[in-house]
Amino acid sequence: MGICSYFIYLILSSIIAVKLATIVAIIFAIVIYVLAVIVLKVFSKEEMIMMPKGNKICKILEKYKIY
């Protein structure tokens, strides 16, 4: 996650403003983190339900047969 966001920052900082490149790199890091948590199944189904909007998240993940 850190390496990906760093390289995204390096690429974007030469194209757009540095502050905007930082924001985009942070957003990419968040997306990569969430995808890693879902793919690696870090949380069990019961733990997912305890989160805010957990029931809705579980239904969506079950719909796409991820959990």
Alpha-carbon distance of 41 to 37, in angstroms, equals: 6
CB 14 within 8 A of CB 25: no
**Could you write out the DSSP letters of every residue in 1-46?**
-HHHHHHHHHHHHTTS-HHHHHHHHHHHHHHHHHHHHHHTT-S-HH
- For 15-57, what is each residue's pLDDT tens digit? 999 999 999 999 999 999 999 988 898 988 899 899 999 999 9
pLDDT in the model for residue 65: 87
pLDDT in the model for residue 38: 87
pLDDT in the model for residue 16: 93
Q: Which amino acid is at 60?
A: I
| pTM reported for the whole predicted model | 0.76
Greater confidence (36 vs 67) lies with 36
pLDDT in the model for residue 20: 95
